[in-house]
Amino acid sequence: MNTWGSNVRAIETFRTLEKPQYLFKTIRFILPFIKHIRFVGEEGLKKGLNRYFKDKKLQSIFCTEPDLLSCLVPIGWAYFKDFQNPPKGGGQAFPEWLEHVVKSYDNDTFYHSRVTKIKLEGTTATGVEIDCRGTKYEVASRYVIAACDVETLYEKMLPPASVPQDFKDRLRNASLYGSSFTVSVALDCKAEDLGFSEEAIHITKQNISRKEQTAANPKTTELIVLAPSYRDATMAPSGQGTITIFMPAEMEQHDYWKTERDAAGNYIRGEAYNKFKNEVAEILFKRVEEKVAPNLRSHILFFEVATPFTHQRYTGNKNGTMMGARPGKENMQAKVAHYRTPVKNLLLSGHWAELGGGVPIAVKSGFNAALLIFKDEKPDVFNCYVNYINHKITATQFRALPVFKHYSNDWKQKQTPAELLAIRRSDTTL
């Protein structure tokens, strides 16, 4: 971390005289990866794995990966014990903490609100129009940071002429991460009682192609099984547990998951959709029973299914993609990742600003989007962040700097639904 921590900064945040140093450090960082980029696809991956081990059984562990870097990078994370586990209480802890910080500075957060339009004066963003439960509002601002689906931003929230067509075409043709068919399961026993623990369990079929491993065929496609309640006991009531089953999936598969189209072309999730997704879930339960937990179905209290349409509906991401644009030669050449947009004072954040995805990328992009604004508007604040990220000052020294308002650091995590249920049960017993 001390060696590469400053790599969190995007090149746009560097001043002119700093850029040569940044490029030198970046080249040093990516050199070990470059020699592996060419090993892609069925044959390419075999050649790449042969450079490290010849044992075919060991190589079969990576039967679902599309390229060599997909195999090696997670091994690197594990080597440094960087497992990126969510905090106590699960991923919901992140937005809870962020909301607390926002409110501690006397700012507001709004739920059930959807940005419908970026307001412009000429070619400069000046705010947003919002729909909140059917009521329209306008918010004026000097800058707008968009952490939403980039096609939605450029195609639906801005006038067509504000973004060059060739730029939009490159984004439309970008290579994206896939989506997922996800089954969240509540158990009447602890997950570990059925053989689940901290590992991410991969269930695969041998002797099928890598393409088939992601084809969303419930009988053959790769499955990943996690046990959130084993990693964090607050996720389930005492004596009970949870598991989550993931299957790679795309929106267009299975005749668009048996959805229908209305007159406007919108996908409708009707009876056939609900019936089919439950049928798929039952097939997945059977496969997990065969390999891990023979009596799984007899311990299921209830389950919820999310298809790629569910992920699109809740995140707004194109095709329900889980993590935005993939790293790779094509997306790099097309310059898919970007912070500054063709509209002045409109910046990107989230996993559309950087190639890759997940919480680390979201944190990195949020930091850089804010840093770009500080660079233009608050040079003293910008310099403080740069000194911290370059390890010239400690976190304690950083927080004590007079350019920042005091933050009391008094966040107290909310109890999870399982913990609240335990309290209610205890009160009822008393």
What is the mean predicted confidence (pLDDT) over 138-161?
93
Q: CA neighbours within 13 Å on the CB side: how many for 250?
A: 11
- Segment 121-145 shows an average pLDDT of 95
pLDDT of the residue at 203:
93
Q: Which two tokens stand for residue 97?
A: 């903490």
For residues 33 and 393, which has the higher predicted lDDT (pLDDT)? 393
pLDDT, tens digit, 9 for 90 and up, residues 213-254:
889 999 999 999 999 999 899 999 999 999 999 999 999 999
Region 330-352 average pLDDT: 90
Q: Which of 54-58, 118-122, 378-382 has the lowest mean pLDDT?
A: 54-58
Closest CA to 247 of 307, 314, 200, 323: 307
CA distance 289 to 278: 16
Which region among 88-97, 215-224, 361-370 has the lowest average model confidence (pLDDT)?
A: 88-97
Under the banding of pLDDT at 50, 70 and 90, the label for residue 274 is very high
Residue 4 — pLDDT band, cuts 50, 70, 90?
low
Where do we find the tokens 């002797």?
207
The larger pLDDT score, comparing residue 89 to residue 245, is at 245
pLDDT beyond 80 at 1: no
- Residue 141 tokens read as 């601002």
6: confidence class by pLDDT, cuts 50, 70, 90: low
Q: Which residues of 115-124 are buried (b: 16+ CB within 10 A; e: fewer)?
A: bebbbbeeee
pLDDT at 336 over 70: yes
Among 310, 333, 337, residue whose Cα is nearest residue 322: 310
Q: Could you tell me how many residues make up the chain? A: 430
pLDDT of residue 117: 96
Structure tokens of 273?
């959709």
Listed residue (344, 348, 296) closest to 324, CA to CA: 348
Distance CA 22, CA 17 (A): 10
Cβ-contact 193, 308 below 8 angstroms:
no
Q: Are 351 and 324 in contact (CB under 8 A)?
A: yes
Q: Is residue 133 left, alpha or beta, with left meaning phi > 0 and alpha meaning psi from -120 to 50?
A: left
pLDDT over 80 (residue 320): yes
Radius of gyration of the chain (CA): 24
